[in-house]
Amino acid sequence: MRFFDDNTRSWWTPATGGANVPALNDLLAPFGLGLGDAVVHGTAAIAGMRVTLSYGVDVAKVPAGGWLHKATLSDAARKGSHPSSHGFLGAVTHGSAGGHVAVFSDSNCLDRSHMTSNCYDLVTRLLGRLLDGEAVPGLLDDDAKLSAPYVTPAFNASPPARRPASSYNFTEVSYVLRNPGTPVCFPNAACEKLPDHPHCRPIAPPPPEAASKSAAEAAAEAARPLPPPPATAPTQSLAEGTPPAGSRYASDSPVPVPWGAEEAVCWGSA
């Protein structure tokens, strides 16, 4: 896909897409899912909600038995084409434990940097449907279930491919390729790399006197009464007037906040 760069006043062809669709397709291939090369934008209706897709990728491949939601969307990658049907949400079951894999066309509705409208409600319902088995009318229901494999006509049975090295030298713009062997994915067991770290040292065995404690002594210690809880200052509601001494109001919050507790307070707006 080409775009017009305002700084150089010329048309540019990106070296790779921002989402790296070929790599994502490598990840989705074992589940029978695939993304296409359409750059879809428009509005889709699902489960009584309206979802805005801001130049995302189409869901181009879903196996039989999976679910696929489609909508009439425009394709910015094919200039002059009329809006047509594109998949934007697909899902499959995976594994004997009832796991699922779901793929959605666009992340802009979750990214505050480029958000025009959010899709938090859709994600919440989707998780409820997949994790808790909640029935959500219009979302991954029988109407969206596929009896045969789906491959979009624009996919042409050939997924988006990486640009060959002969057409673009990625080493010029990639720190990873310029420094082979430098970025290393260490194993999750950090103690293999930091054996002297305090968290990696073996736990010392209990002292002999603790191990030789009699059962009667252990029972007496367990029956010892707990100390009384510390006294707390009486609370005061807003209806009683000013906040209690030693408290303050956050700039946008009506809740009294004790001094010294600022680190535990987070007040924001969606």
pLDDT in tens, 34-81: 999 888 999 999 999 999 998 889 999 999 999 999 999 998 877 778
Residue 198 belongs to a domain: no
Residue 264 belongs to a domain: no
Calpha distance 155→178 (Å, rounded): 33
Q: Look at 42-46, 103-107, 139-143, 215-219 and tell me which has the smallest mean pLDDT.
A: 215-219
Query: Would residue 16 be called left, alpha or beta, if left means φ above 0 and alpha means ψ between -120 and 50 degrees?
Result: beta
Share of the chain above pLDDT 70, in %: 64
Residue 221 belongs to a domain: no
Contact 103, 49 (CB under 8 A): no
pLDDT above 70 for 186: no
Which tokens in the block code for residue 6?
A: 């305002």
Residue 162 belongs to a domain: no
Q: How many CB atoms lie within 10 A of CB 171?
A: 12
Q: How confident is the model at residue 96 (pLDDT cuts 50, 70, 90)?
A: confident
Calpha distance 81→74 (Å, rounded): 8
Per-residue b or e along 178-208, where b marks 16 or more CB atoms closer than 10 Å to that residue's CB: eeeeeeeeeeeeeeeeeeeeeeeeeeeeeee
Contact 104, 98 (CB under 8 A): no
Number of independent structural domains in the chain:
1
Beta bridge partners of 40: 56, 75
Position 247 scores a pLDDT of: 39
Residue 169 belongs to a domain: no
Calpha distance 147→155 (Å, rounded): 19
Which tokens in the block code for residue 13?
A: 């062809």
Helix locations, 3-138, DSSP H: 21-28, 120-131
- Tokens 């489960």 sit at which residue? 47
Residue 130 belongs to a domain: yes
pLDDT above 70 for 210: no
Nearest CA-CA partner of 28 in 75, 55, 66: 66
Q: What is the mean pLDDT of the chain?
A: 75
Residue 164 belongs to a domain: no
Nearest CA-CA partner of 74 in 66, 84, 65: 84
Helix locations, 103-240, DSSP H: 120-131, 175-178, 208-211, 215-223
Position 248 scores a pLDDT of: 39
Position 252 scores a pLDDT of: 40
pLDDT above 90 for 218: no
Position 191 scores a pLDDT of: 66
Position 188 scores a pLDDT of: 52
Q: For 224, phi and psi rounded to 5 degrees? A: -65, 130
Q: For 108, phi and psi rounded to 5 degrees? A: -60, -25
Contact 187, 194 (CB under 8 A): no
Q: How confident is the model at residue 176 (pLDDT cuts 50, 70, 90)?
A: confident
Q: What range defines the domain where residue 66 resides? A: 3-155
Calpha distance 212→208 (Å, rounded): 6
Contact 53, 45 (CB under 8 A): no
Position 7 scores a pLDDT of: 87
Contact 78, 58 (CB under 8 A): no
Residue 239 belongs to a domain: no
Q: What integer is the mean pLDDT of 181-194?
A: 59
When computed from its CA atoms, the radius of gyration of the chain, rounded to whole angstroms, is: 29
Position 204 scores a pLDDT of: 55
